[in-house]
Structure 1
Amino acid sequence: MSSPARLRMNRTALVPVALLALCTVPLAFAAGWTPVLLLIPIAVALWVLRVGVDVSEEGVTARSTFGQRHVPWHDVAGIRVAPRGDLRLVTTSATEIRLPVVRARDLPRLAEVSGGRIAVPAPPAQ
């Protein structure tokens, strides 16, 4: 892996944000204080563009709207699938870090971009 793999939200999620901005414009000029409403679509667009997971040779970085948390590979104990299907990175100190945007269905892709450092569990025997 030469450059970090970036797992982000699909950019088509910006289409509803654009519609929200379009619907907000008439309201934004209704009174003196309402231009503040234009900050809502900007904040949602920032969230769509920023939130995600970066996987590199150094480790895994979970990015939120305003922050990030980097975990080096030697601190990664594994991945836990939460009840609603979202993934949590389990560290060797037994803390869990939510991996935004990535779900259980994305586990094979996450295992692929990790270079084999994260294994895909076998399906349960029936």
Structure 2
Amino acid sequence: MRLSRVALVPVVFLAVCVLPFAAASPWAALVLLLPLAAAVWVLRVGVDVDDEAITTRGVLGQRRVAWDDLAGIRVVRNARLRLVTRGGGEVRLPVLRARDLPRLAGWSGGRFEVPQPPAA
């Protein structure tokens, strides 16, 4: 799962906005690195799920957690998700939120289930 490519629209808007400032001097052209970095982030960051593991991808690297090494999933502040490994470590899931848990459970092939809220 990746961010929607629609997220590149504000990046293009940012590039257009900083273009006059960047044209002011050769050193000011360095601000064009900001939209470039934002575009790389939108295109690179995400989560891949396959039969063997969950792979989280960041701008500079990736981390692969095998299903056998997964102890659970923790919901932290702002409904963000973290994988909890059997060794006690945590791995951030960059683009997934608590609302994505049912979809992640489906991708896992039944390796975990999402608890349902109690009936009122």
The share of aligned pairs that are identical, in percent, is 58
Greater helix fraction, Structure 1 or Structure 2: 2
Which range moves more in the overlay, 45-54 or 116-125?
116-125
Specify the alignment match of 2:96 in structure 1: 102
Superposition RMSD in Å? 1.1
Q: Aligned pairs, how many? A: 120
Alpha carbons 1:54, 1:60 under 8 Å: kept = yes
In the alignment, the residues of structure 1 paired with residue 48 and residue 9 of structure 2 have an alpha-carbon distance, to the nearest angstrom, of 24
2-structure distance, mates of 1:59, 1:112: 14
Task: Verify the 8 A CA contact 1:79 1:118 in the aligned structure 2.
Answer: no
* Selected match of 2:69 from 75, 89, 95: 75
3-state SS, counterpart of residue 105 of structure 2:
helix
Identify the residue that residue 43 of structure 1 maps to in structure 2. 37
TM-score by length of 2: 0.94
User: 1:113 is aligned with what amino acid?
Assistant: W
Runs of 5+ consecutive residues of structure 1 not aligned to the other structure: 1-6
Normalising by structure 1, report the TM-score. Answer: 0.90
Match of 1:52 in 2: 46
Q: Does 1:93 align with 2:53?
A: no
1:57 partner SS = coil
Residues 55 and 61, structure 1, Cα contact 8 Å, conserved in 2: yes
Q: Could you tell me which residue of structure 2 aligns to residue 123 of structure 1?
A: 117
User: Runs of 4 or more off by more than 4 Å in structure 1?
Assistant: none
- Structure 2 CA distance, aligned partners of 1:15 and 1:91? 36
Match of 2:27 in 1: 33
Q: Which amino acid aligns with 1:56?
A: D
- Deviations 1:48-94 (CA, angstroms, capped at 9, x unpaired): 11111110111001111111110111101111111320011011111
Amino acid of the residue matched to residue 63 of structure 1? R
Shift of 1:125: 5.2
SS at match of 1:84: helix
Q: Which ranges of structure 2 fall in alignment gaps of 5 or more residues?
A: none
CA distance in 1, matches of 2:77, 2:18: 36
